[in-house]
Amino acid sequence: MLRWLAPEAQRYATSPQVRIMSKLLTQLNLNTFVTWILVLFIAAVGSHAQKRQLSKDEAIRLAEQFIAVNGYTNLPPDKRKFAYETIEWESNIDDILKERHDTLQQKAYGVLRGRKRGSAGWTVVFRYKHPSDQEERKIGRAVTMNLDGSDTRVEHVDFILRFVKGKL
């Protein structure tokens, strides 16, 4: 019961009052520990649940900024915010930016609620700026993100423009 005391102090701590205090302190420490664990758990769950969902307009604005800073438009890229696609043919960032430069229009073509494979989020579609043929005019690129704007990426595969229901 008094194991938390040093052995030489235990022999002096035999009075009933000391034993009661010892039990209370042990119980108090356990209660405090459990309380802090619960507080931390609730805070973690609450902060995750409190992530604000982007509106459609905010998702479009984020996607337009994302393609600009990642070099897909004629605007200067920001190498500090560079994001790789899932598949890149180059490893050098300068070479990747050279390949991407001015390939997409700056303004979004359309927006859909949801990501690929049906997960929650946003898909913002962009048209190619200089389509090389009639077939390339039917496709574009998609920027996807979670509902709160996290995990933003340019999808590697082209997006068929006729599937865009929310044209802008």
* Residue 30 within any structural domain of the chain: yes
The count of other CB atoms within 10 Å of the CB of residue 40 is: 10
Which positions ≥6 away from 71 have C-beta within 8 Å? 77, 82, 96, 97, 100, 101
- 73 and 142 co-located in one domain: yes
* Residue 129 within any structural domain of the chain: yes
Give DSSP secondary structure letters for 128-160. BSS--STTGGGEEEEEEE-TTS-S-EE-SS-EE
b/e burial code for range 130-143 (CB count within 10 A of at least 16 → b): eeeeeeeeebbbbb
- 45 and 60 co-located in one domain: no
- Domains contained in the chain, number: 2
- 74 and 17 co-located in one domain: no
- 101 and 18 co-located in one domain: no
* Residue 150 within any structural domain of the chain: yes
pLDDT at 88: 84
The answer, yes or no, to whether residue 45 has pLDDT greater than 80, is no
pLDDT at 97: 96
- 87 and 161 co-located in one domain: yes
- 44 and 61 co-located in one domain: no
* Residue 1 within any structural domain of the chain: no
pLDDT at 121: 97
* Residue 78 within any structural domain of the chain: yes
Tell me the backbone φ, ψ of residue 123, rounded to 5 degrees.
Answer: -125, 120
- 38 and 70 co-located in one domain: no
* Residue 18 within any structural domain of the chain: yes
Cβ proximity of 72 and 141 under 8 Å: yes
- 69 and 39 co-located in one domain: no
- 39 and 65 co-located in one domain: no
The answer, yes or no, to whether residue 33 has pLDDT greater than 50, is no
* Residue 2 within any structural domain of the chain: no
- 12 and 87 co-located in one domain: no
* DSSP symbol at 104: B
- 120 and 137 co-located in one domain: yes
- 99 and 34 co-located in one domain: no
Instruction: State the residue range of the domain holding 103.
Output: 56-167
Per-residue pLDDT, averaged over 135-139, amounts to 93
Mean pLDDT in the chain? 84
Give the global pTM: 0.70
